[in-house]
Every structure is written in C-alpha cells, then in structure tokens.
Structure 1
C-alpha cells in the first residue's frame, strides 16, 4: 500500500508540473505503467471493474454512440459508433459492424477500469504488462445513466486490490534467411486462398512478418517510400475512395472502413480528422512501408503495411472489400500508380 501512496504522490505532482502530458507518456517518464497510474485513483475518479471482459463489452450497446480507441506506440485509431453484434469463441472475440469493427484477443486482457477524467467518462482495458489494449469514451449523445448502471454492475468488490503487472521480456528472434526454406515459403504464398491465412503461413515457416516480406515471391512484396503512403491517402481523399484502416496491439485490432477526408499534418503526426473516424500516425516511429499482394479465392488483395524499427506492424491499409467480393480496382490501380519503390 505504501508503494501505491508513493506512486500517487509522484503522479499528482507530475500532473501539476506537466498538465498537458498524456497519461501514457507520463507513465513512461515515471517508470511505471498507465494501468498502475489509474489504480492510484481507484475509489475516487477511477472504479476498478471485475475481469469479466466479454460481459462488460456486451453491456456497452445501451450506452449508444461512443468512441472506440485502439492504439499502439505509433498509431492511434478512433472510431465512433454503437457497440453491437459482439460474439466470443474461446479466447477470440468479434464485433462486426459498419462502424465498430473489432477483432479481440481476450487472452491478453488483464484489467479494466471506469475512468472519469474531468467529466470525460470512459471504460479502459489493459494487458498484463499494464499497457492499454482498448478504450471506450462516452460522447455527447451517449446514455450516461446506462454507463453508471454498467459501472455499478461490474464494479470490483475490492477497489484497492494489488494490480499484478507482468512484463513481457520475450523478444521475437529472427532466424537467418538461409535457415528458411524460401522456395517452399514462396510456393505456399502463391497458393494462399485467404488473407487471414497469412499469419499461419509465417508461423509454419518460422519467419517474422518483415522477413516474410523480404522472402516473398517476386512482385508480391516491395518496400515503398513513406511519401508514397501519404500520396495514396491524399488521392483517396480527393477521389472519395473508401479504404480500410487496421490498427492494433496484442489484444485488439480495430478497423475503419470508409472514406478518409480531412488530412492534417501536425508536427510528426499525420492525421485523419473526420467526424466519425480519426487516425494519428507518428511518422518518426516508422521504419519501413511495404506494398504487399496476397492471393485469395477472390483474386489478389493489395495492402500497404507499415512497420516500426522492431518489425512490429503499426498499421495496415486495404481497399474496401468483403469476403466473396474482388478487390476494388480503383484502389489497386491507385496504389500501383503512386507507390515509389525503394
């Protein structure tokens, strides 16, 4: 308990001296985690919730229109809409809607809080390492009474229980290219029937994602310039082309499908600032951008994949499509036209 009191004191002093620093960045500067900082306010502006994550998420729909936020270190994805059509099967969850579209990996979820930040109310979910997985913010039209009911129904009995933080110290080691059966890998790539099978292909051959792109069949993965990506965004904006934006972390992938209209540069951040969709992409965190082509039963699917220096995927972009429907030809032509190879 004394450690919590000390952390609370440090956090209170930090907020006074650094009122504009976001809690995620504050946690790094203080050598702690976002979840631990929130837990210092449990019982006041923060309510610890029981670890009944699927049940909590299914109870969000009555809140009405909310803002879903999923991020990693270099990309923030914010989408407004109504939580509905949630389903869970073992450790996997889905929310499939035109607005709130999520892929949930529940084995990574570890703690949950209801948070009141100067009147801005939210539900926030964290991984075992204290990093945020997903957040749900109330909007102007959200049902406040339904939110208060949800918080009451799921409040943890012990608001001050110790928050167990388990740091993930394992690093994915990349095998030398010479140890990979590259010919067999390329052959299997060319026989893909579904983009979702790509992760299994990488796992089967023991390759990292960026290594897999390096070893891809000729013409199926090429590194392109970051300026090409921005040019593609501006062309999509100018032509009202609907695209798909996938941003995720270990516990959640959040998807936007639709146009991207208002593009704004702010320092190192490249932003989409539309009424129901915002994306904030930090340019100085980008190490590589790839144009990738994967075979499916519906023809080639073309994506733009963005990676950080550790080879972790930051964000992916596709043309709007659904299973059973071929890729948007305008997306394919635009990407191939504007991509400048490195």
Structure 2
C-alpha cells in the first residue's frame, strides 16, 4: 500500500483520512489502513475515542493482571492475537487464568479453550470499541503496546455476557477520553557478535525442558535466528516455506494433533489439537488458512521468508518444531506435534517433519 504520510499529531486530519479510506474500501482492516497512513493501529483507533470507543488504562488499584482475571466473566468470546504475518483466532471461554510475578516480570498463563501466555510489561493502553460492519456490530476489548501495536483483541459473541463487558469497561475507563494516542517506538535489542559456538551447542545438548531454551539464548546474548544458524546441521536445518501447506494438510488428513504458537511481545496464543479445514487463499496476498469452527489461523505466505526445523533435547527425548521467520528474522509462528509435559513427542509428527526435504 502507498504510505500517505498523514501528520499523526493532527488528530482531525487523521480521523478524516481514516473515514475516507473506509468509504473507498468498506472492508479494509484497520491495521492495513494504519500502514497506508503511516501510523500505528492504536493511533488510528484512538481518533474514534468517544461514544463508540472508550480508552482503558490500568492503575495500581486495577492492574492489567486483574483485568485478565476478569475475562472469564465474559463467557464465550473470540480471542485474537497476531503479529505482522500470522493471526490466531479462538472461540471459547477464558477458563483458567493464573498470574505471577510483579512489575516488568508480571506474566500469566491462560489454559482452556483459549490458551495464551501473557507478558504484561508490554501492555500499555486498551480500548473498548464498537464497530458496525454491514448488519453486524463488533464489540471488542483491545490491548496495545507503547508503540501502538495490537497485543490482543477480545470480541464479544452472541452468547457473551454483555453486562460483564460493560462493568469491565466502567472499571478500567481512563480519565483521559480525548481522541488521539501518543506512541513510542521500542529500541532494538542488541546481541553479541562473538558467540562461543562450542559452549553454546554444549548447553543446547544438555537442555532438559523446552522452556529452558529462551534462558539459554539470553545467557549467550544470541538472537534466536542466529542461534538456528549456529546449530545448523546439529540441532536445526532450513526447509522451504512451501512445506507449510503440506504439513497442515497432512496433519488434517491423518488427524494428527498439532500445536501452533503465534504472538507478539505481549501475548502468545496457542492452538492445541486437530485441524480440519486447510485453505490456501490467493488474491493480492497469499494466505495459508485453518478455517475450523472454533479455531482460525491466517499465515501470510509472502512474509514467511524462511522456515527451520529445530530440535530441543528434553528429559523425555527430542522435541521437534518448525519455526517460521519473516524477512527481518522475526519469528512469525511455531508448529509442534501435540505434546504434554512428561510425554515423548508423537512419532507421527517426527516422521512428518523428517520427510520434509532440507535446503
């Protein structure tokens, strides 16, 4: 899309430009419109602050972890988490929410029909939003980071508890209900250049749990993509992204249960179970989709530049994943065979991944 470079400090001009895009492209998504206008999604959404868009904020009395704990009150909803190239959508209930840690270390796990891993350090501002599309009214709670990127969106469904929604909005309503939103870019993390490859691979070989992998990367100050390059031929190797459709179609046809992870700096959403309907949709963009009744995945194939098979030792044997990265070497999504702690990974998943040709 052409970047129209609207002055983002001029809220009225931005609001007008957003209205003009909607009139010209009724089905345009706000994320795409924001990119076209050269602003963040939160900045564009905040032009609508008023009766149909309420700014939400956390306070010491009502924190973001407490906000998450309130979501089960909504009942049946749709939870959406995305990054620049992958979207996961689940319908169901926020069933079991557990928060832990404080301040920058505050995190949470959500277990049940909707499963996520939450990192509250990135939660900056929220909005309760109502939007009419055709004959539908979409009502949502949306959380954004300080750069204005969406962390997660919760959409009410016909069976949702609207009274609970209104009470959450009332409790988290910000005193600032002026249109417009200030954003701040994140600084890019720095990584070491001189990696002790033998020491790094030795520690990799001694992993006992997949959750220890991130800590290992931090200790060696190595970017995740660089780690896969270092381990190429030992614990990792690249494959063509053309294999992703085959992997999902095979999982669907053989009823092989899988796990799919996708997220951003504030939320990681997880699919666990069988997938059924796999569709490749081609238009201006090519998307690989899972279109099941209570789970959808949308993976933008043009942005999926590289894919790697990765093996991590655990006390139950190797765990095999496929990790997908964009052109800037940011991870888009991960695919695993369904596995529970204490149980070896599925042999059918290992065989499927082993069948994929190495690059």
Which of 184, 188, 196 is the equivalent residue of 1:171? 188
Q: Report the equivalent of 1:341.
A: 358
- The normalised TM-score by structure 1 is 0.94
- Whether 1:295 and 2:302 are equivalent positions in the alignment is no
Q: Report the equivalent of 2:47.
A: 40
d(CA) in 2 for partners of 1:37, 1:249: 20
- Whether 1:16 and 2:27 are equivalent positions in the alignment is no
- Whether 1:282 and 2:300 are equivalent positions in the alignment is yes
Structure 1 residues 175 and 138 mapped into 2: Cα distance closer, same or farther (>3 Å)? same
Count of residues in Structure 1 that have an aligned counterpart in Structure 2:
338
Contact 2:88 2:269 (C-alpha < 8 Å) held by counterparts: yes
- Whether 1:270 and 2:288 are equivalent positions in the alignment is yes
Structure 1 residues 2 and 132 mapped into 2: Cα distance closer, same or farther (>3 Å)? closer
d(CA) in 2 for partners of 1:186, 1:254: 29
For residue 102 of structure 1, report the CA deviation from its aligned partner.
0.9
> Which portions of structure 1, spanning 4 or more consecutive aligned residues, are displaced by more than 4 angstroms?
172-176
DSSP 3-state at the match of 1:284? coil
- Whether 1:151 and 2:162 are equivalent positions in the alignment is no
For residue 172 of structure 1, report the CA deviation from its aligned partner.
4.3
Q: Report the equivalent of 2:111.
A: 97
Q: Any gaps of 5 or more consecutive residues in structure 2?
A: 1-7
d(CA) in 2 for partners of 1:99, 1:255: 10
Which of 67, 72, 78 is the equivalent residue of 1:56? 67
The correspondence of residues 200-239 of structure 1 with structure 2, limited to 5 A, is 200-216=215-231, 218-239=233-254
d(CA) in 2 for partners of 1:2, 1:254: 33
Provide the aligned C-alpha RMSD in A. Answer: 1.7
d(CA) in 1 for partners of 2:232, 2:301: 28
Which of 61, 70, 81 is the equivalent residue of 2:92? 81
Contact 1:246 1:317 (C-alpha < 8 Å) held by counterparts: yes
Q: Report the equivalent of 2:5.
A: none
Structure 1 residues 133 and 2 mapped into 2: Cα distance closer, same or farther (>3 Å)? closer
Q: Any gaps of 5 or more consecutive residues in structure 1?
A: none
d(CA) in 2 for partners of 1:159, 1:173: 37
Q: Report the equivalent of 1:67.
A: 78
Q: Report the equivalent of 2:332.
A: 314
For residue 92 of structure 1, report the CA deviation from its aligned partner.
3.1
DSSP 3-state at the match of 1:160? coil
Contact 1:293 1:300 (C-alpha < 8 Å) held by counterparts: yes
d(CA) in 2 for partners of 1:83, 1:70: 14
Structure 1 residues 172 and 239 mapped into 2: Cα distance closer, same or farther (>3 Å)? same
Contact 1:186 1:217 (C-alpha < 8 Å) held by counterparts: no
Contact 1:98 1:257 (C-alpha < 8 Å) held by counterparts: no
For residue 328 of structure 1, report the CA deviation from its aligned partner.
1.4
d(CA) in 1 for partners of 2:16, 2:179: 18
CA deviations on 1:137-165 (whole Å, 9 max, x unpaired) are 11121122222222222222231176331
DSSP 3-state at the match of 1:13? helix
d(CA) in 1 for partners of 2:19, 2:293: 34
DSSP 3-state at the match of 2:316? coil
d(CA) in 2 for partners of 1:50, 1:326: 43
The correspondence of residues 112-261 of structure 1 with structure 2, limited to 5 A, is 112-118=126-132, 119-160=137-178, 163-168=181-186, 170-172=187-189, 175-176=192-193, 179-216=194-231, 218-261=233-276
Q: Report the equivalent of 1:330.
A: 348
